[in-house]
């Protein structure tokens, strides 16, 4: 057996043992797995590599943290609730349109933070009561939130698995917006219509209004939406004009969050911000753990071994693994799936030729994101079930059809990548 394979098995073994048996958090398990790999690979405890891997995603981590603060503000200020009410009261006659708009609200925090957990815990938590109010059963509402948050995680502008995969092959994260929208929007629309539409024929507006909080919207009016608008303007302007002051994505989120403190309901910012960071830190820790894990895999040669082994298996095996093994790897970590499997798979597909690298990378990242539905970790799924007050299993059952459709869409686009390039 190759020494690289032994290292790899040691890393995965220690990781799984720590995570499943010892019930340690994913991040800590990744650290232990990395340590095991370094020791088996004859590197001892290579402090510099452990640290360097940990700090790989420091910029992304700062963006996620600042985006979470922004989400907290627009959630607590009442902007999201008002948006829900506007959508329901204006569009209840067109249930399909209404559902699609609610789905976009669920996706929004995932889009700007790249984290499905952020989407579930912020917008998901606010849209869930609305879905129940419309008459969608609990388990389906949970499934909608789980799928929606994953679509948000995969949708542009921020898709972390796509960044991880691109970073692994030295491909700039440019031009992903189109393919990612092509993948996520149809799947999101299908999922919410499939799960929700039949429950919201003949909606009774009076019953809806009595269940919605219409006060916030009336009290603050358009002012509530200023932070969201400011965010769009600043994000787009800073990418469109080089002369525009480059304050950076983090500061844009923080500035908009600051504006939000004055445009709606008053709340204790310090307390809510601490709470938001409590939910964010495990996500950041996972990114640090993944960085350390991959750094050690590369150092001991396990990463090269995986790529070369994939190359030898041939292209068909790689395509099959990309829609089976890769989402399944999400049970460990969807970020891990992107780096450990996504990168070599993309390399194999690029070397094979006849494909558009950006479209293929987008599809692979999309398939990785779906891993967040995989039990037992099932980050998105478990949180979504918690929000509607259920165990994950009944919610998971309703996720199956949308999940299969997403896989099919991802695979179809990937196999025809040149058509969509």
Partner 1 sequence: MKEYWKNIVVLLIALLFAVLASIDFISMQVQEKIAPNQNLTEVKMLSCYSPGLKGTDSDTEVYVFDSGNPGGTMLILGGTHPNESAGMVSAIATIENLEVERGRVFIIPWTNKSGFTHTSPLDGMQDRFSITLSDGSIRTFRVGNRLTNPVDQWPDRTYYEGTSGRKLIGSESPEIRNVNRLYYGKENGVLTERVCYGIYNLINAEGVDLTMDMHEGSPEFLYLDCTMVNQKADNEKAMSIASSMALSMQLDGLDMRTEYSGKSSYGLSHRSLGDNTASMMTLMETYNPSMGPLHGKMDDDLIVNGNEPNYYQAHNEGYIYFDVPENGYPLAERVARHLTCISYLAQSYSEANPHDAIVFEGLGSYDDIVEKGLGNLLKPID
Task: List interacting residues with partner 1 (CB under 8 A).
Answer: 3-4, 41, 47-53, 55-56, 59, 163, 166-169, 171-175, 238-242, 244, 246, 248-249, 291, 294-301, 303-305, 307-308, 311-312, 339, 343-344, 347-348, 351-352
Cα separation, 384 vs 372, whole angstroms = 11
Pick the closer one to partner 1 by CB: 189 or 350.
350
21 vs 240, beta carbon nearer partner 1: 240
Q: Whose Cβ is closer to partner 1: residue 305's or residue 323's? A: 305
**CB 301, min distance to partner 1, A:** 4
Handedness of CA 249, 51, 328, 381 (dihedral sign): negative
Q: Which is nearer to partner 1, 37 or 78 (CB)?
A: 37
Half-sphere exposure of residue 365, counting CA atoms within 13 Å on the CB side?
33
Contacts of 260 (CB under 8 A, 6+ apart): 70, 73, 74, 77, 79, 226, 227
Q: DSSP states of 196-235 as a string?
A: HGGG-SS--HHHHHHHS--HHHHHHGGGGGHHHHHHHHHH
In angstroms, the CA 283 to CA 293 distance is 15
User: Least CB distance from residue 78 to partner 1, whole Å?
Assistant: 30
Based on the number of CB atoms within 10 Å of its own CB, is 91 exposed (0-12), middle (13-18) or buried (19 or more)? middle
Token readout for 228 is 């969201």
Nearer to partner 1, 41 or 109 (CB): 41
3-class SS string, 56-83: CCHHHHHHHHHHHHHHHHHHHCCHHHHH
Nearest distance from C-beta of residue 233 to partner 1, angstroms? 14
CB of 225 to partner 1, least distance (A): 24
Residue matched to tokens 């911000």: 273
Q: How far is the CB of 375 from partner 1 (least distance, A)?
A: 29
Supply the minimum distance, in Å, between the C-beta of residue 7 and partner 1. Answer: 9
Residues listed for the chain: 421
Q: How far apart, in Å, are the Cα atoms of 412 and each of 106, 182, 262, 300, 403?
A: 25, 12, 47, 35, 14
Smaller CB separation from partner 1, 1 or 174: 174
User: Taking the complex as a whole, how short is the minimal distance between the CB of residue 43 and partner 1, in angstroms?
Assistant: 9
Q: Which is nearer to partner 1, 80 or 299 (CB)?
A: 299
What is the DSSP-derived secondary structure letter of residue 371?
A: G
Question: Do 291 and 50 form a contact (C-beta atoms < 8 A)?
Answer: no
- Pick between residue 72 and residue 159 the one whose CB is nearest to partner 1: 159
Using CA atoms, how far apart are residues 349 and 332, in angstroms rounded to an integer?
A: 24
């Amino acid at each position: 057996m190759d020494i690289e394979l032994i290292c790899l098995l040691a890393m995965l073994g220690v990781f799984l043992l720590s995570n499943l048996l010892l019930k340690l958090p994913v991040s800590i398990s990744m650290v232990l797995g990395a340590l095991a790999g370094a020791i088996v690979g004859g590197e001892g405890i290579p402090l510099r590599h452990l640290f360097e891997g940990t700090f790989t995603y420091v910029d992304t981590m700062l963006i996620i943290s600042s985006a979470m603060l922004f989400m907290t503000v627009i959630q607590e200020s009442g902007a999201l609730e008002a948006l829900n009410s506007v959508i329901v009261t204006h569009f209840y006659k067109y249930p399909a349109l209404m559902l699609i708009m609610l789905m976009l609200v669920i996706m929004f925090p995932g889009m700007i933070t790249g984290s499905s957990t952020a989407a579930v815990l912020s917008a998901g938590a606010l849209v869930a009561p609305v879905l129940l109010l419309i008459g969608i059963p609990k388990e389906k509402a949970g499934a909608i939130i789980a799928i929606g948050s994953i679509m948000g995680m995969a949708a542009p502008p921020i898709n972390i698995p796509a960044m991880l995969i691109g970073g692994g092959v030295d491909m700039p994260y440019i031009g992903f917006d189109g393919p990612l929208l092509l993948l996520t929007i149809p799947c999101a629309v299908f999922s919410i219509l499939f799960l929700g539409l039949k429950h919201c024929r003949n909606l009774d507006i009076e019953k809806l209004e009595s269940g919605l909080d219409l006060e916030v919207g009336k009290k603050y009016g358009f002012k509530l939406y200023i932070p969201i608008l400011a965010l769009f303007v600043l994000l787009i302007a800073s990418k469109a004009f080089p002369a525009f002051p480059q304050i950076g994505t983090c500061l844009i989120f923080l500035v908009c969050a600051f504006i939000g403190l004055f445009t709606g309901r008053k709340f204790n910012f310090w307390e809510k911000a601490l709470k938001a960071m409590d939910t964010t830190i495990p996500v950041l820790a996972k990114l640090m753990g993944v960085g350390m894990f991959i750094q050690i895999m590369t150092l001991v040669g396990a990463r090269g071994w995986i790529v070369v082994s994939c190359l030898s298996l041939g292209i068909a095996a790689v395509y099959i693994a990309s829609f089976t093994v890769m989402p399944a790897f999400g049970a460990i970590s969807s970020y891990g799936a992107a780096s450990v499997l996504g990168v070599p798979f993309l390399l194999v597909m690029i070397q094979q030729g006849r494909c558009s690298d950006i479209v293929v990378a987008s599809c692979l990242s999309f398939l990785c994101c779906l891993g967040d539905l995989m039990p037992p970790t099932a980050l998105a799924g478990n949180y979504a079930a918690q929000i509607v007050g259920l165990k994950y299993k009944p919610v998971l059952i309703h996720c199956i059809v949308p999940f299969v459709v997403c896989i099919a869409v991802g695979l179809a686009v990937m196999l025809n990548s040149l058509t969509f390039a």
